[in-house]
Structure 1
């Protein structure tokens, strides 16, 4: 997967634009709200994962450790 945090940011702003559509009403609005909540939930997971990776990199850098010294799940490419 080649998505970046900037792509996530774009998706979030696109969702805001869809929710801001004055012509969206009734069931369509409800569907878009549900979609927005799903996107928001996934976005929180993605940002939490990115924060974990950043923390792992910071710790490795602070301790002058090589990539192989970290647990596999915390290693970045």
Structure 2
């Protein structure tokens, strides 16, 4: 996988730095604020997805293979479908 959660963290901090750039005029600040809103929306979805995956793995770790058929996203490779 190309992107990691650490990459998301880097993007969020880069956006924070752009928002704090004191050389920006009002129009550029507004543009950066809109960009930040879009980044936050995508970041929130990525974090929710990672949280769901963590919960699924936790269930599998705590309860063994009896739940594995219900967690179809765990244990499958691309070749398996």
Residues 1-77 of structure 1 mapped to structure 2, 5 A cutoff: 1-65=1-65, 69-72=69-72, 74-75=73-74
Q: Cα RMSD between the aligned structures?
A: 2.0
- TM-score when normalising by structure 2: 0.82
Retained in 2: the 8 A contact 1:15–1:36?
A: yes
Q: Which is higher, the Rg of structure 1 or of structure 2?
A: 2
Q: Structure 2 regions of 5+ residues with no counterpart?
A: none
- TM-score when normalising by structure 1: 0.86
Structure 1 runs of 4+ aligned residues shifted over 3 Å read none
Q: 1:7 to 1:66 in 2, by over 3 A?
A: farther
Retained in 2: the 8 A contact 1:60–1:67?
A: yes
